[in-house]
Amino acid sequence: MARWTVRGIVADMLPVLLALTLVELGSGLVLDTFESTLLRYPSLLVLVPVTIGMAGNLGSIMASRLSTATHLGLLAFEPTDDTLAGNALATVGLAATLFPLVGAAAWGVQALLGGAALSLAAVVAVATASGLALAALAVLVSVIATYAAYRLGADPDDVVLPVVTNTCDVLGVLVLFAVVRLAV
Amino acid sequence: MLPHEFAVPEVLGEFSGTEPARVDDLGLAARYLVVRDGAAPLDALCREDDDRDRHPLGVVIEVEFAGVEDPGEVDLDVRLLAGLTARGLGERLAGVVVAAGELPAGGEAAFDGEGAGAVGAPVDNKRGGDAAPAALALLGDGVGERRREVVGRVNDQRLADGGVGVVGRERRVDEAVAPFTKAGAEGTAVGVGGHRRACRAGGAKTRGRGRRPAALLPAPREPPIMSVRETATEAYREALPVVAVSAVGGLFAGVVLGGMESELARIPGLLLLVPALLATRGNVYGSLGARLASALHQGLVEPRVDLGDERLRAAVAAALANGVLVSGFAATAGFALLAGLGRDHATLPTLVGVALVAGVVSGLVLTVVVVLTVFLGFRRGLNPDTLAGPVVTTTGDVVGIATMLAAARLVLALGGG
């Protein structure tokens, strides 16, 4: 149990928060680098928060399911493990279902508000490609983080979630950047 | 006579009576404590030590033999339990409770959630009849293989007449029981600290409402072994609504961000701050939600908004302080980064001003959202652990971006840029 004084809680959390902020500024720098592209195509700007958020969500859901399975002794860290494979499959499936819709919605909203500069197909393609790449990365990051926590004897619940969420945040921006670079 | 050979090879410490005790007070090097003839309230054992998540108190063995004149005559095998802690399970173990006894009147499980001293009290033991171990409950979060090993070993003990259960401090009871059913153990699972809704599920019985739910679950006999496809389908179905809702939230945030073109163009460097500020909202208020959820499970905080509650006040004040401090830091560091790289940037007061205003306003909004969600959810029997995360990620993005836009407009109107 953590401490329950303001000073105690701040002292516990602030160093981690500051470190994570520096990491997040790294992804901010990537955004800043392609700011002109984003401002030219606002549909892509609309995709930024949702891509970051979904990447973090997919990673954190995968990670918390893996943590629970670890706690229950249901998980073996092998590629053939049913729990592992099933959760990985679900993560990719979620991305494959939702990202095309997100892309279409982002385009639609922008078309309604002020005319979209990119075609519907382009925005959907960018969203889908980013989503699938992110799902694969989210699986990889959460497996590695959970395994590392398990090997180091740390409680995966405490350690894995913040690491996975923030790593996936940064990866979200990087992947979006890479896909936009390639496609637009 | 007990059906199992029980002998105490080595008692590392003894405690009698009903006074709360701390393992530390007893000067035990080992992580466990043997309590004989008398129930030390597990509640008190845990509650006394505010650091129990980091330093779990260990194993409580509680013995109550009906019809035995001198409990000292009865030998209890603690080797199994000692073995568990020695293997490092103790690192994550809150307690082990073993209870043995005859049927209480009525043949029903006596389980009183109010006094956690009743943990592992004699449980229905119809088929055993004699004073077989009625229940073995491992309270705590064993990790992975270790727990699997425990399951196997407990199963080897053939406690089928009684009951076996593993209950994490905040683990759902049905989840906790799964490995045992998988291992083929039969009987009844007993637990505290499980979640109320989970306790109610499957004909579970709950007493001691709210603060410290007690549970009794009939263990299903068919082990739920899930294939890849089943696991994938279950995970997909469970996650889809949450992810879809957060996608909609993210889109709203995106629309606001898309509408911020002119502010983003007028305050160069603002876009750089977007990921850091959004992540801060998630990290700070997500952790506030997790902290309150844990506290509710432990009974440290009551699920009502009471500004006189010191813990609630401290948690909220610390979250606000963290949120604002980190926002200011992000703006300053972002400014330094841009200046260092020679990129286009707004003035330091402009960036810091936007970050601080957005930090304060979004902090107040998110605090209200998190506290209300967690408390109301808990009162309705939802698990605040699973509730807090998605709510924060979804509202955090929308509130975070919207307050950034408002703050940017305010600072621009005041002459920043």
Report the first-to-last Cα separation within chain B, whole angstroms: 84
Q: Is the pLDDT of residue B80 over 60?
A: no
Using CA atoms, how far residue B206 sits from B13, B42, B340, B383, in Å, is 33, 18, 61, 16
Could you report the per-residue pLDDT of B340-367, keeping only the tens digit for each? 999 999 999 999 999 999 999 999 999 9
With H, G, I as helix, E, B as strand and everything else as coil, classify residue B137.
Answer: strand
Whether A168 contacts A59, CB under 8 Å: yes
Q: B186 or A17, which is more confident?
A: A17
* Average pLDDT, integer, range B27-52: 31
B262 touches chain A (CB under 8 A): no
**Interchain CB contact of A59 with B (< 8 Å):** no
* Terminal-residue alpha carbon distance, chain A: 50
β-pair partners for A2: none
**Gap between the Cα atoms of B402 and A169, Å rounded:** 19
Q: Which band of pLDDT confidence, cut at 50, 70 and 90, is reported for residue B109?
A: very low
pLDDT, residue B246, reads: 85
Which contacts qualify for A117-123: CB closer than 8 Å, 24 or more apart? Answer: A117/A40, A117/A41, A117/A42, A117/A43, A118/A41, A118/A43, A118/A44, A118/A184, A122/A183, A122/A184, A123/A43, A123/A44, A123/A47
d(CA B166, CA B94): 11
pLDDT score of B252 more than 70? yes
**Distance, C-alpha B354 to centroid of its chain:** 36
What is the DSSP-derived secondary structure letter of residue B249? Answer: H
CATH number for the region A6-183 comes to 1.10.357.20
89-108 of A, contacting B, C-beta below 8 A: 89-91, 93-94, 97-98, 101-102, 105-106
The one-letter amino acid at B99: A
User: Is the model's pLDDT at B14 over the cut of 70?
Assistant: no
Spatial distance between the Cα atoms of B346 and B293, rounded to a whole number of angstroms = 40
Q: How many CB pairs under 8 A join A and B?
A: 270
| Percentage of residues of chain B with pLDDT beyond 70 | 44
Indicate whether A110 pLDDT > 60. Answer: yes
Confidence of residue A112 (pLDDT cuts 50, 70, 90): confident
Q: Which of the two residues, B322 and A82, has the higher pLDDT score?
A: B322
Q: Where in chain B is the domain with CATH 1.10.357.20?
A: 228-413
Residue B56 pLDDT more than 80?
A: no
The domains of chain A are located at: 6-183
**Residue A60 in contact with residue A70, Cβ under 8 Å?**
no
- pLDDT (0 to 100) of residue A73: 53
**What six digits make up the tokens of B65?**
């033999």
Mean pLDDT for the stretch of residues B180-194:
33
Q: How high is the pLDDT of residue B90? A: 28
Contact flag B282-A89 (C-beta cutoff 8 Å): no
For residue B53, pLDDT over 50 is answered with: no
State residue B342's pLDDT score. 92
Q: Which of B173, B278, B316 to mutate to test the interface with A (most CBs of A within 10 A)?
A: B278
B26 in Cβ contact with B33 (< 8 Å): yes
Residue numbers in B near A49 (CB within 8 A)? 250, 253-254, 257, 274, 278, 397, 401
Q: Which of B290-304, B337-351, B389-403 is the most confident on average? A: B337-351
Q: Do A50 and B253 touch (CB under 8 A)?
A: yes
Q: Which residues of B touch A130 (CB under 8 A)?
A: none
The answer to whether the beta carbons of residues A66 and A142 sit under 8 Å apart is yes
Nearest by CB to residue B250, choosing from A54, A85, A94, is A54
Q: Which residue of A has its CA nearest to B175?
A: A72
Tokens of B356: 């601080």
Q: How many Å apart are CA B94 and CA B58, to the nearest integer?
A: 5
ipTM exceeding 0.90, yes/no: no
pLDDT digits 0-9 by tens, A35-45 = 888 888 888 88
Contact B97, B119 (CB under 8 A): yes
Say how far apart CA B411 and CA B417 lie, in whole Å: 8
Instruction: Please tell me the least confidently modeled range out of A43-57, B90-104, B112-126, B134-148.
Output: B112-126
For the cut 70, the answer to whether the pLDDT of residue B30 exceeds it is no
Give me the residue label for tokens 């080797």: B79
CATH 3.40.50.300 fits B228-413, yes or no: no
Query: Which of A4, A7, A64, A126 is the mutation pick for testing B, counting most B CBs within 10 A?
Result: A4
CB–CB of B230 and A86 under 8 A?
yes
Residue B324 banded pLDDT, cuts 50, 70, 90: very high
Sheet of strand B14-16: strand arrangement: B14-16, B32-36, B59-62
Residue A148 vs residue B23, higher pLDDT: A148
Amino acid B307: pLDDT: 79
**What per-residue confidence (pLDDT) applies to A71?**
58
Q: Tell me the whole-structure pTM to 2 decimals.
A: 0.61
Residue A118 has pLDDT above 70, yes or no: yes
d(CA B349, CA B343): 17
